[in-house]
Amino acid sequence: MTTYELAQVNIGRLTAPLDTPELKDFTDNLEPVNATADAADGFVWRLQGDSGDATDLRIYDDEWLLVNMSVWRDHDALKAFMYAGTHRELLARRREFFERLSEAVTALWWVPAGHRPTVAEAEQRLTHLREHGPTPYAFSLRRQFSPAAS
C-alpha cells in the first residue's frame, strides 16, 4: 500500500524588491518562520534554493513571483502551521508584501511518500487548478480530496 503526503505550493507577486524597506518585516521573518515550519508536527520537506529559503527561485518565468512549496503529513498538519504564530501574523499582513492576484495562488495535491515536487510540477498543478477548479489532481484549502481520490 502506497502512503501519501500532502504537497502545497503558494505564490505571491511582490509589491517591491525583496531588499527594500517595504519588505523588511517579511524578509526578517523568513528564517524564523521556516525554522518553525521545519520543527512543526507533520512537516516533511520545503523547497529551498541556494539561500536556504526559496526567495531565489521563481515560477511562471516571472521575476516578481515568489514560490513557496512544502510537503506535509496531511491537511491538519499544514493548517496547524499556517494558522499559528508568526506565520499567521504575516499571513494577515500579506497585502503589505504581495499584490492581490485574481487567479488561484495556492494548490495542493497528494504525492507518494518520499516524493519531492519540483517547481515545474507545482506550476502544472497550479495551472490545472486555475483552468479546471479543484480536482483530485490539484485542489484548494477549501475544497480538498483524499489521497484515494487522487
What rounded mean pLDDT belongs to the chain? 92
Q: What is the pTM of this model?
A: 0.92
pLDDT at 29 over 70: yes
Whether 85 contacts 133, CB under 8 Å:
no
Give the number of C-alpha atoms closer than 13 A to the C-alpha of residue 135, restricted to the C-beta side.
10
Give the number of C-alpha atoms closer than 13 A to the C-alpha of residue 60, restricted to the C-beta side.
15
- Per-residue pLDDT of 94-134, as tens digits, reads 888 999 999 999 999 999 999 999 999 999 999 999 999 99
Helices assigned H by DSSP within 19-145: 24-39, 75-82, 85-92, 94-97, 119-132
